[in-house]
Chain A
Amino acid sequence: MTTFLPFIILGLTSGAVYGVAASGLVLAYRTSGVINFAHGSTAAVAAGIFYWLHDEHGMAWPFAALIAVLGLALVAGAVMERIAAVLARVPTTLSVAATVGLSIALTAVIVIWYGPAPLQFPSFLPSSTFKLGSVLVGYDQVITVAIGIVAVASMSLMLRYSQRGRAMRAIVEDPELLSLTGLSGYSVRSLAWFISTAFAAISGILIAPSLGLDGTLLTLLVIQSFGAAAIGAFSNLPMTFIGGLVIGVLSALSTKYSGTNDWLQGMPQGLPFIVLFVMLIVLPRRLLVELGSAVQERTIGRVTGGRAARSSKAAVAAILLLIVPSVVGAHLAVYTLAAAYLIILLSLSLLVRTSNQISLCHMTFAAIGALAFHHLTGSVPWVLAVLISGLIVLPVGLLISIPAIRLSGVYLALATLGFGILVEQLFYARSFMFGDALSLATPRPSFASGPKAYYYLVVGFVVITYIAVRAIEQGRLGRILRARADAPEALTALGLNIRSTSMIVFAISAAMAGMGGALIGPIFGVIGQSTFQTVPTSMLLVVLLVLGSRNRSAGTLGACMIAAAALVVVPDYITSGTLQSWLNVLFGAGAIEVAFAYRGYGLSSRIKRLRSPGSPIAPDQPSSRLSVPILIEAPK
């Protein structure tokens, strides 16, 4: 027992932090119907403020913590309430993209503030220890666990017994009904976001000493807490906290063995996602009813414009793609990369734009495709190797679509994010994936070995992918997907098993992404772990695709081209790292703006109103659903 005890105490300490973070996440979700993917970045910002006050300006830690927690919570409580109120009324794809965008933006802010390298974050709690039996326990550990228990217990009591708490629980059920009781939804939601942000801030400050001040690492905290939230079925707060403790302890225990057992390497980091993934698969579906799921509409409406408009747009795209090598000079490799990403984005668009599903692990599919290509190349003809790489990813896509069958919207987003991180943490270092090798050979074909020739080859694959995506969109599957976005139950009633549709689309999309990934390797000739920053890039892909789709007349190819350009081409021309971070801030803010625009609160409509005051809020897009009458059943 004494060999385990230190690990259990360690696990309880970090588990308490996960528990606090997760409780805040769940509270905000239950009161506003929005899962905040930026929860971890909020924690990181709090840690940044604390560091600034305490370590750079010498403020005593209790004051620094108080200011960081309360100050951030006050600001975020007000801002997030406004954002969430809009996000609750847009399709899940857009609301997920918006908070993912916020997360990217906040992470970038940290990088701008403290630089890209993680900073040492000195421990501020008393470091003296006492003996519990034969084990040394730090006072800092005791304080951390105590803070966690007090925070979560007081919130649970407040929710159960106070009027505000009851209002908080009621507001998700029916915000309008709540306003009839004389309580404003605004104040209730603000309070919820205040508490949620405060909890994120507390957890950020508590965990920063062990992780360092690192935007990306702290952002992952949100995902650690997703596992805990899943144990609480995204609703039960005490269970969520206990879930955090369980995950903390299991992770710590696996640390004990990861040194000796090869397979357990990466397990401490991967465990929360295994828990999340498993919980999403085994929890009864009725517990995972998406809050605010009344909005099951399609993200992107039908593209308007006739055949002539479409073919002229296609011609513009074709000319752009063809003249690139003669005008970009030394940047050609970047454009080739953009073309490969275009394939991945086209595959993602099949999910996000056509099927209203979301995937936050598309770069994982691409990485698997690239690895498959590395193993195949040499033994099979080059083109065949690319195609087979796609086929190999197909069953992986099918595996991920198991949660896709059961889950919709935000839970699918969570499952895919969990899968992406799991693969990165647990499998990248395995020999069947990247292993220790820094570079794995991925040669170009003999018939297109020059950079120009290879560029055109990738463009050829883009054309094929686009034709395939287009055929699917225009064909029967596209019609089914459009219908399903509006009324899935109706399709079931008409004799179509829509679960199989989800699987098919997900698998096709994954295979295409795998193919795109396979084409990335030969640009550089080698691939390694660092070629695929899977999680951040997957998140960025979704955000950029949504951004590119803001103007509906762009069409599928247009949206994907805008996204690919923003992802790889623009950064290549920006040499300053700070500027690049500002770009990410812009992308994140843009994703939120797209969600606002969907509801008619976008920038352009605001500017219009500034010009002609008095005119009512008009949706940017005529097809926005503000005009839909709410069907109220006839009185009986």
Chain B
Amino acid sequence: MTTDTGLTVENLTVRYGGHVAVSNVSLSAPAGSVTGLIGPNGAGKTTTLNACFGVVKSAGEQHLFGVNMTRKGAVGRSRLGMTRTFQRMRLFDTLTVEENVSMGREAKAAGTTWLTQFVSSPASRRQCEAATRDALNACGIEELRDRTVRNLSTGQRRLVEFARAIANEPRFLLLDEPSSGLDVRETEGFGTVLESIVRDRGIGVLLVEHDMSLVSRVCRYVYVLDFGIKIFEGTMSETLTSPLVRAAYLGQELTDVPAGSDA
């Protein structure tokens, strides 16, 4: 297995009691591009993402850059170079934008040993500052740096959460519905930022998303889930023309894919 495989998931199954939320799903998301994971409500997208991050129990095997991480929890997976965002954003509401983003790098440094939780070396501090600066820059939110996060708009908050994940310097990133709560223009702006970061840093991204306008713009390859089963996979153009996807995703009667109409 080569290292540019990014994330590979084999035969993922998640059960909640007797209910099978995700059944036997396999997917792979390479580094350097955005892979989409789409499907209607309740299809099991977020469950799949949570399983990839080790926060729900699942069967099957998961690898990250060739390392088997099936048995690792969220912290262990994060140390392998993976981080995530949340559909309902988990921001440090009482801290400023800069402190939020900075914590993206600092939490990683602090998590190394128990001692690093309360002592930080000057070198580690410089690293944090550099990572914070770069992430704020890349997301275009330098002007917001001293604002308290809870006073920001949803669009700005999404960018802060994304910047925090970027400051974590991940090799792989799980994004959970980053466009939810954003208007068309904000979604577009987010797409631009996401594309440039994937291009510049060569990280792999698995994007769980509802908004087809964002997916069709940034994703190279797409997996489609419905009722916890993978019903289709293919390139973006294949997906957009697949009648199977249309039936599941948009309902039988629709014949055209309206971009972004579901927001």
Contacts and interface: CB of A to CB of B under 8 A. Distances in A.
Given A633-B180, A634-B180, A495 B78 contact: yes
Contact of A480 (B83, B110, B164, B262): B110
A433 interface: no
Given A492-B74, A493-B84, A634 B95 contact: no
B89 A631 contact: yes
Interface in A462-508: 472, 475-477, 479-480, 482-483, 485-487, 489-497, 500-501, 504
B106 A487 contact: no
B185 interface: no
Contacts of A491: 103, 107
Interface in A293-311: 297-298, 301-302
B119 to A, nearest CB: 7
Most chain A Cβ neighbours within 10 Å, of B110, B180, B210: B110
Interface string A612-636: 0000000000010101100101101
Contacts of A625: 150
A483 B210 contact: no
Contact of A301 (B90, B91, B94): B94
B181 A495 contact: no
A482 B110 CA distance: 14
Contacts of A634: 180-182, 263
B188 interface: no
B150 to A, nearest CB: 6
Nearest to A633: B180
A494 B117 contact: no
A486 B89 CA distance: 11
B79 interface: yes
Contacts, number: 117
Contact of A486 (B86, B93, B111, B165): B93
The secondary-structure label for the interface of chain A is: helix
B92 interface: yes
Contacts of A495: 75, 78-79, 83, 107-108, 111, 168
B162 interface: no
Contacts of A633: 87-88, 180-181
Most chain A Cβ neighbours within 10 Å, of B91, B108, B120, B150: B150
Contacts of A490: 86, 90-92, 164
Interface in B43-85: 53, 74-75, 78-79, 83-84
26 contacts: A297-B93, A297-B94, A472-B118, A476-B117, A479-B106, A480-B110, A483-B92, A486-B93, A487-B90, A487-B93, A489-B86, A489-B90, A490-B86, A493-B74, A494-B103, A495-B75, A495-B79, A495-B168, A504-B114, A631-B88, A631-B89, A631-B181, A633-B88, A634-B263, A636-B41, A636-B210
Interface of A: 297-298, 301-302, 472, 475-477, 479-480, 482-483, 485-487, 489-497, 500-501, 504, 623, 625, 627-628, 631, 633-634, 636
